[in-house]
Amino acid sequence: MLNRPQRTQRAPGVKQNLAVRRISRGTARSGSDPISRITATTARELSVHSTAISDSATQQTPAEYLAQAVRIAVDNVRNEGGPFGAIVVSADGQVFEGVNRVTANLDPSAHAEVTAIRNACQGLGTFDLSGATLYTSCEPCPMCLATSLWARIDKVYFAASRDDAADGGFDDAVFYRYFEGDAADREILPVAQEPLPPEERVAPFTEWSLNTTRIEY
């Protein structure tokens, strides 16, 4: 089960929950895996809308931001990128876009959501995006959800589902099952702890605790 990473220090009163919502039409579809369990709502209503990256105080609706994410995903395909786009809207309304550049940049981690989060952090000068919302053209994969958790994103909205992605040739189902703990699927990436003396294996954390100039995250 995916557990949210714990921060050593956090400002009082900051929300720590991550709500994932899907914009679709109809009733919510429930799931038993950890990713589905944090999906709060589902709905699909995409209105055609586009806007440039800005820090406008005018907040758009989730559907409008998702339409923008879909648009930049389509544009990215035309620019030799993958069919995914994402937008991070900061707590004060600043907008940061990201697209999938896995094959273009030879970077397996360059998913649209990760790229948007990177751009937001660099643009805002922080690694903590508390209060921000992530809008993405497709249901986030486990890596992108984990990145959202580490970035302290407050909410995630997505348009296309993982099933839509599978129909388009992007089937992440095995990755979702991997994190569910299915023994058969765990074979694709064995993970094992090798025994080391306690003082050796915790040496990095000991050094960290002694570092008086460390920045907690």
Structure-token pair, residue 114: 């990760």
Q: Are 25 and 43 in contact (CB under 8 A)?
A: yes
Q: Find, among 132, 97, 119, the residue nearest to 19 by Cα.
A: 132
- Is 139 marked active-site? no
Q: What is the DSSP string of 40-56?
A: EE-----------S---
Q: Which of 45, 80, 113, 200 is catalytic?
A: 113
Amino acid residing at 126:
T
Q: How far apart are the C-alpha atoms of 163 and 176, rounded to whole Å?
A: 12
Contacting residues for 28 by C-beta, under 8 A, at least 6 apart:
39, 41, 42
Helix (H) or strand (E) holding 162: helix 162-167
Strands 133-138, 85-89: pairing kind: antiparallel
Kindly list the catalytic residues: 113
